[in-house]
């Protein structure tokens, strides 16, 4: 309703219609609203032509980022096994990692934004989680949420089928395992074909894991 916003001076420009009868030939009157939209000051300005970019279509990527701002991309909620509060693991044995596999944490999440007849839609999904094993050396990249460890399941005592630190830790100690979730936000206009992508990352907190030495008893 206020017209076109000019980033250069922070004012909205709206062509007055109809133009006053005494408007000089080759010029046009614009109503300017500055310093805060409806709460700002207004004045009329006679110009030889419109300000730079006046009437240009909206930037679709800007609309995509506006749609992105309307949703929340959450960092993964981390789980590991062995878990420190349950019991320690052992040097050299596999470690399992997984995360809560809901749409809030992995997508797909969708939103859209519109301006001046253009609508841009987005879809956000997690591509991968990069786990930092907390030993200043090892990272593990998983393309799924991982499988929760089940002490009575068919994989008990074995490496995780899809997300694990298979070789385990080489030294005893307490480690803090963290992860970075990598989201891809793809956006498109009305035709439905992907026009661009906006990569995003979210960093989770850490979870502790206790690793002990394997004790060998000889007689």
User: What are the extents of the domains in the chain?
Assistant: 4-47, 60-212
Confirm if 121 and 187 have CB atoms less than 8 A apart.
yes
Cα 39 → chain centroid: 33
Q: Which residue's structure tokens are 């997300």?
A: 163
Q: Tell me, what's the pLDDT at 9?
A: 81
Q: Tell me, what's the pLDDT at 219?
A: 56
Residues written for the chain = 219
Cα 73 → chain centroid: 5
The residue ranges of DSSP E strands in 69-136, in sequence order, are 78-81, 89-90, 95-99, 109-115, 118-132
Strand partners, 62: none
Strand partners, 114: 119
What are the residues whose beta carbons fall under 8 Å from the beta carbon of 175, sequence distance 6 or more? 133, 134, 135, 169, 208, 209, 211
Confirm if 104 and 74 have CB atoms less than 8 A apart.
yes
What are the pLDDT tens digits along the chain (219 aa)?
Answer: 777 777 778 788 889 999 999 999 999 999 998 875 555 688 999 999 888 777 777 788 888 998 998 999 999 999 999 987 778 999 999 999 999 888 889 999 999 988 877 899 999 999 999 999 999 999 999 999 999 999 888 888 899 999 999 999 999 999 999 999 999 999 999 777 778 999 999 999 999 999 999 765 455
Q: Which residue's structure tokens are 């969708």?
A: 110
Report CA torsion sign: 51, 57, 62, 67.
positive
Q: Tell me, what's the pLDDT at 217?
A: 47
Backbone φ, ψ for residue 62 (5° rounding): -65, -40
Q: Tell me, what's the pLDDT at 159?
A: 95
pTM of the model: 0.72
């Amino acid at each position: 309703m206020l017209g076109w916003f000019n980033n250069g001076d922070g004012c909205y420009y709206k062509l007055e219609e109809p133009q006053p009868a005494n408007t000089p030939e080759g010029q046009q009157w614009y109503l300017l609203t500055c310093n805060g939209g409806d709460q700002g000051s207004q004045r009329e300005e006679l110009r030889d032509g419109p300000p730079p970019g006046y009437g240009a279509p909206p930037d679709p990527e800007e609309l995509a980022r506006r749609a992105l701002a309307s949703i929340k991309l959450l960092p993964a909620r981390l789980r590991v096994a062995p878990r420190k509060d349950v019991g320690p693991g052992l040097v050299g044995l596999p470690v399992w990692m997984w995360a809560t596999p809901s749409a809030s944490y992995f997508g797909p999440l969708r939103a859209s934004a519109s301006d001046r007849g253009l609508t841009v839609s987005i879809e956000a999904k997690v591509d991968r989680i990069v786990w930092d094993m907390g030993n200043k050396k090892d990272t593990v990249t998983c393309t799924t949420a991982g499988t929760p460890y089940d002490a009575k399941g068919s994989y008990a005592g074995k490496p995780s089928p899809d997300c694990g630190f298979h070789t385990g830790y080489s030294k005893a100690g307490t480690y803090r395992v963290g992860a970075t979730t990598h989201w891809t936000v793809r956006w498109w206009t009305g035709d439905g074909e992907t026009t661009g992508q906006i990569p995003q990352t979210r960093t989770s907190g850490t979870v502790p894991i206790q690793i002990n030495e394997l004790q060998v008893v000889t007689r």
